[in-house]
């Protein structure tokens, strides 16, 4: 089980929203990433939250700078829409890319990405929203656009096309600090064949403890608890000793 | 500044390895056939598929250079992840592919059980045995290093395996050695935070001639 710091960036700032909306500025990305690294975070996930607005990821330079002194795996997401984007991300120093919207538009893109860069480089980011009892739907563009797909079908598709990891973000829980979306994770856990990272809702240690207790082999991505200094990374890591 | 050669055969993310060597105060240089670079330390990195990697290595005629390089006992060859797996005779990844054949044994899938999650990703405790040539690495016994892989090397001669870690309760080869100057890690020291950097640094320091 890994603890991954999720860092959403808008323009030059680390930001944090609620349900992927209503963004609040947190601070300077380089300083924040470095602080988490020095405190022992397992991995770092950096998402350009306005990339789809500009049609491209704007964080290659940031990745170039931070990877000169940060030596844990770094995943870059947001606006990754071509093989060239993936190449640029890796050349900047990222280890993996997170892909959402592009995969939803063209699932075969995942097969191409995996055969060009290896599956361990490709993480699929799913932003899921509850539609009705026992039914969730993956969303595009940082939770802004519906797809009318069934989440279970979508997970089967991406596992079939190829990917190295799955990041499952609950739009309903994101930024609420009310706990991970246990119903959502329960709903999909049995069909997951790839390393799963759950994101959205972490507000305290019990929330992480609950994921650990209920699900085997599931990692957590956290944001608010680190950004608002509710938890120390060392406290979280003690749970996994 | 000590030169350290990164064997760039055109695959995988070698940027992090480059950055880690630079951070440690070395001068990382990318290998290419034409250039005559002076260093007794070569690192063979690798992310991706075994057959593709071997194809590129053969195309770029790197194979013989590596084999000649390790004939000199003062030279060190470090393989990381797929780079380590390439030391072996063959791999069953995608197609049966012949490797560099420096160490006897095969590379095979970590598990065929459909309920097991692959790739195996995370920070795993690594048990390191005392090895005559690399005894100084014993200090990293029980440390956690970062792994991401679906395949593992299986040396025929157990003395070629000097470390192990666990996947679903089973041991797998985490580090392999040959003679006193070939060493491979299944984990990524360049991605294993401060402990990984220390590991790299110690290996290089002890091999500088």
Q: Catalogue all structural domains in chain B, each as residue range(s) with its CATH number.
A: 3-205 (3.40.50.880)
Chain A residue whose CA is closest to B147: A73
Terminal alpha carbon distance of chain B: 13
Which positions in chain A touch B150 (Cβ < 8 Å)? 119-120
Position A119 confidence tier, pLDDT thresholds 50, 70, 90: very high
pLDDT number for residue A238: 92
pLDDT number for residue A189: 95
pLDDT number for residue A143: 81
pLDDT number for residue B12: 65
Considering only CB atoms, A118 lies closest to which of B20, B48, B121, namely B48
Q: Minimal Cα–Cα distance from A1 to chain B, Å? A: 7
Backbone angles phi, psi at A108, to 5 degrees: -65, -20
Taking all residues of chain A, what is their mean pLDDT, rounded to a whole number? 94
**Domain of residue A70, CATH code:** 3.20.20.70
Contact B69, B37 (CB under 8 A): no
Can you tell me the mean pLDDT for A9-27? 88
Q: Minimal Cα–Cα distance from B191 to chain A, Å? A: 5
Q: Minimal Cα–Cα distance from B117 to chain A, Å? A: 5
ipTM: 0.95
Does the beta-carbon distance from A120 to B146 stay under 8 Å?
Answer: no
pLDDT number for residue A135: 94
User: Is it the case that residue A172 has pLDDT exceeding 80?
Assistant: yes
**Pairing of β B27-30 and β B3-6:** parallel
Q: Quote the tokens at residue A204.
A: 């305290």
Which positions in chain A touch B20 (Cβ < 8 Å)? 71
Taking the C-alpha atoms of residue B92 and residue B87, their distance in angstroms, rounded to an integer, is 14
Considering only CB atoms, A71 lies closest to which of B13, B47, B190, namely B190
Name the stretches of chain B with pLDDT < 70.
12, 32-36
A142 — alpha (psi -120 to 50), left (phi > 0) or beta?
left
Position A192 confidence tier, pLDDT thresholds 50, 70, 90: very high
Considering only CB atoms, A195 lies closest to which of B16, B20, B121, namely B121
Contact A158, A124 (CB under 8 A): yes
Taking the C-alpha atoms of residue A101 and residue B30, their distance in angstroms, rounded to an integer, is 35
Domain count for chain A? 1
Which positions in chain B touch A92 (Cβ < 8 Å)? 15
| pLDDT tens digits, one per residue of A63-99 | 999 999 999 999 999 999 999 999 999 999 999 999 9
Residue % of chain A over a pLDDT of 90: 85
| pLDDT tens digits, one per residue of B35-59 | 667 899 999 998 778 998 999 999 9
Q: Minimal Cα–Cα distance from A241 to chain B, Å? A: 10
Does the beta-carbon distance from B15 to A90 stay under 8 Å?
Answer: yes
Q: Quote the tokens at residue A99.
A: 């892909």
User: Is it the case that residue A30 has pLDDT exceeding 80?
Assistant: yes
B192 touches chain A (CB under 8 A): yes
Three-state SS for B103?
strand
| Catalytic residue (one of B93, B149, B173, B188) | B188
pLDDT number for residue A232: 97
Can you tell me the mean pLDDT for A158-166? 97
User: Is it the case that residue A206 has pLDDT exceeding 70?
Assistant: yes
| C-alpha to C-alpha distances, B148 to A123, B116, B118, nearest whole angstrom | 13, 14, 9
Backbone angles phi, psi at A224, to 5 degrees: -50, -45
B119 touches chain A (CB under 8 A): yes
User: Is it the case that residue A198 has pLDDT exceeding 80?
Assistant: yes
| C-alpha to C-alpha distances, B175 to B79, B148, B165, B172, B198, nearest whole angstrom | 10, 14, 9, 9, 16
Question: Is B81 a known active-site residue?
Answer: yes
Question: Is B190 a known active-site residue?
Answer: yes
Q: Minimal Cα–Cα distance from A68 to chain B, Å? A: 5
What is the pTM assigned to this prediction? 0.96
Taking the C-alpha atoms of residue B172 and residue B184, their distance in angstroms, rounded to an integer, is 14
- Choose from B123, B199, B200 for mutation: most chain A CBs within 10 A: B123
Does the beta-carbon distance from B193 to A121 stay under 8 Å?
Answer: no
Structural domain including A75 reads 3-238
Which positions in chain B touch A71 (Cβ < 8 Å)? 16, 19-20, 23, 190-194, 196-197
Does the beta-carbon distance from B191 to A71 stay under 8 Å?
Answer: yes
Catalytic positions of A: 8, 127
């Amino acid at each position: 089980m890994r603890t991954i710091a999720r860092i959403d960036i808008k323009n030059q700032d680390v930001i944090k929203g609620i349900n992927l909306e209503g963004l609040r500025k947190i601070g300077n990305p380089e300083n924040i990433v470095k602080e988490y690294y020095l405190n022992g975070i397992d991995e770092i996930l950096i998402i350009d939250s306005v990339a789809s607005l500009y049609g491209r990821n704007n964080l290659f330079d940031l990745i170039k700078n931070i990877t000169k002194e940060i030596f844990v795996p770094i995943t870059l997401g947001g606006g990754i829409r071509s093989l060239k984007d993936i190449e640029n991300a890796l050349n900047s120093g990222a280890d993996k890319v997170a892909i959402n919207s592009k995969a939803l538009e063209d699932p075969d893109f995942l097969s191409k990405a995996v055969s060009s860069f290896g599956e361990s480089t490709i993480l699929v980011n799913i932003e899921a929203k509850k539609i009705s009892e026992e039914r969730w739907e993956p969303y595009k563009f940082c939770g802004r656009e519906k797809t009318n797909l069934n989440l279970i079908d979508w997970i089967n598709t991406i596992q079939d096309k190829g990917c190295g990891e799955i990041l499952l973000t609950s739009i309903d829980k994101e930024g609420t600090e009310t706990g991970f979306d246990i119903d959502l994770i329960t709903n999909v856990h049995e069909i997951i064949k790839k390393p799963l990272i759950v994101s959205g809702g972490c507000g305290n240690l019990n929330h992480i403890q609950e994921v650990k207790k209920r699900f085997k082999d599931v990692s957590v991505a956290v944001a608010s608890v680190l950004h608002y200094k509710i938890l120390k990374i060392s406290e979280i890591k003690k749970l996994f000793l | 500044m000590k030169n350290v050669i990164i064997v760039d055969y055109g695959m995988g993310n070698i940027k992090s390895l480059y950055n880690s060597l630079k951070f440690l105060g070395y001068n990382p240089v990318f290998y290419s056939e034409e250039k005559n670079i002076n260093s007794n330390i070569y690192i063979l990195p690798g992310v991706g598929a075994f057959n593709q990697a071997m194809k590129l290595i053969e195309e770029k005629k790197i194979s013989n250079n590596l084999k000649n390089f390790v004939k000199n006992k003062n030279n060190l060859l470090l393989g990381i992840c797929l780079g380590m797996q390439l030391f072996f005779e063959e791999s069953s990844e995608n197609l049966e592919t012949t490797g560099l054949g420096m160490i006897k044994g095969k590379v095979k899938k970590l598990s065929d059980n459909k309920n097991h999650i692959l790739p195996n990703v995370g920070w795993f405790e690594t048990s390191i045995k005392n090895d005559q040539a690399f005894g100084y690495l014993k200090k990293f016994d029980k440390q956690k290093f970062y792994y991401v892989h679906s395949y593992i090397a299986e040396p025929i001669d157990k003395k070629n395996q000097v470390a192990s870690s666990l996947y679903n309760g089973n041991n797998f080869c985490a580090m392999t050695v040959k003679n006193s100057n070939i060493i491979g890690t299944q984990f990524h020291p360049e991605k294993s935070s401060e402990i990984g950097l220390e590991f790299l640094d110690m290996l290089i320091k002890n091999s500088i001639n």
